[in-house]
Amino acid sequence: MTEPHSERRSPARRAGTLGVLWVIAANTATEGMRQPIHAILLLLGIGLLIINPLIATFTLGDDDRLLMELGLSTIFLVGTLLAGFSSALALGEEIRRQTVLTVLSKPVSRTTLIVGKYLGVAASLAGAWSVWGITQILVQRHGVLATVRDTVDVPVVSFGLGGLLLVLLLALWENWQRGRSFPSRLSVWSTRLAPLVALVTLSVSRDWALISPLSGLDGDLLGALWLLLLALLLLGAIALAASTRLGTMATLGVTAAAFLIGMVGGALAEGTLLRFLLPNLQLLWVSDGLVRGGSLDAELLLTTTAWALAYSGATLTLATLLFRGRDVA
């Protein structure tokens, strides 16, 4: 029995949809990294993480645990701003300028456009998160100089600041010689070189002896950073849904409100139906427990990961429904 023509073409159509998704996501990520705000927030996060050891010096208690909390808080706050700006610029500004009509005039569905935009925003967020996360790992390795007997971790300072200087020089050179976007090249080179800097730095001890790079990694810190990435991707989905109907500043307001509600609303709505609707970011924020001496386990990571992905998926579904009913002409 011969298959209907539409069914015979379904694999090709799926392949075509995946190709369109890839193009939209790649363009969205590239355009997002070209925005000056992306480079500003990326450098701001790095700068704040670098000076956190100085702030932790004036605290009482376990300096290294408090340094971890300061670092995770910095990444969360700066990342929330980046999620709001990236989503608003990826879709909201295109709707306002009506450039989105160019894409929709082609055989591209609104669902495909929303998913592609989100994947692009997620890619740019993940790139910035990786740079911040690696910076925090190196800062944690350096530790807090609480007394005069504590010595500077020379490999961390040398490779860390040297890598940052190299990124700036490479971005400036490409901007000057090739006319390429400085913010974009700064983001790209940061993402490329940060893992290399971390690998080289963690492969030597404070006294320059060769060691395993895995020996300097804190499993709790890595788990907390992973949960932070999930939180940022969730906020990015919320911001993208808001940008289907709102302007840039209003989208930022919704993102900030989602952050605040997510940090306190879950506890307030415990035992009510609202707890299933609110973005309970407390599930992804484990810094307080780590500071009190707790640790992460695999079951917690798996359950929270599943919840965050499900909530982000539901938010993207809402974004698609909102965008379908939006008149962009």
Would you state the pLDDT for residue 14?
A: 54
Do residues 136 and 72 make contact, with C-beta atoms less than 8 angstroms apart? yes
d(CA 285, CA 288): 8
Q: pTM (2 decimals)?
A: 0.89
Please, are residues 233 and 312 in contact by the beta-carbon 8 Å criterion? yes
% of the chain at pLDDT higher than 90: 50
What tokens were used for 237? Answer: 């989905």
Region class of 208: left (phi > 0), else alpha (psi between -120 and 50), else beta:
left
Which of the residue ranges 17-26, 60-69, 136-145, 155-164 has the most confident prediction, judged by mean pLDDT?
155-164
Nearest alpha-carbon partner for 78 in 98, 101, 52, 59? 52
- Count the alpha carbons within 13 Å of 81 in the hemisphere toward its beta carbon: 13
pLDDT of residue 290: 75
Residues 159 and 197: beta-carbon distance below 8 Å: yes
| Segments making up each domain of the chain, as ranges | 18-150+217-324
Statement: residue 5 has pLDDT above 50: no
Q: Which of 12-16, 20-24, 42-46 has the highest mean pLDDT?
A: 42-46
User: Per-residue pLDDT tens for 184-233?
Assistant: 899 999 999 999 999 999 999 998 999 999 887 888 899 999 999 999 99
Q: What percent of the chain has pLDDT over 70?
A: 89
Answer yes or no: is pLDDT of 83 > 50.
Answer: yes
The answer to whether 132 and 45 are in contact (CB under 8 A) is yes
Q: What pLDDT does residue 267 have? A: 66
What pLDDT, on a 0 to 100 scale, did the predictor assign at position 82?
95
Each residue's pLDDT tens digit, 256-308: 999 999 888 766 666 677 777 888 888 888 877 777 777 788 888 999 999 99
Instruction: Fill in the amino acid letter for 161.
Output: L
Task: Write out pLDDT tens, residues 28-80.
Answer: 999 889 899 999 999 999 999 999 888 877 665 567 778 888 999 999 999 99
Q: 6 pLDDT band (50/70/90 cuts)?
A: very low
The rounded distance, in Å, linking the Cα atoms of 279 and 256 is 12
Q: Are 163 and 141 in contact (CB under 8 A)?
A: no
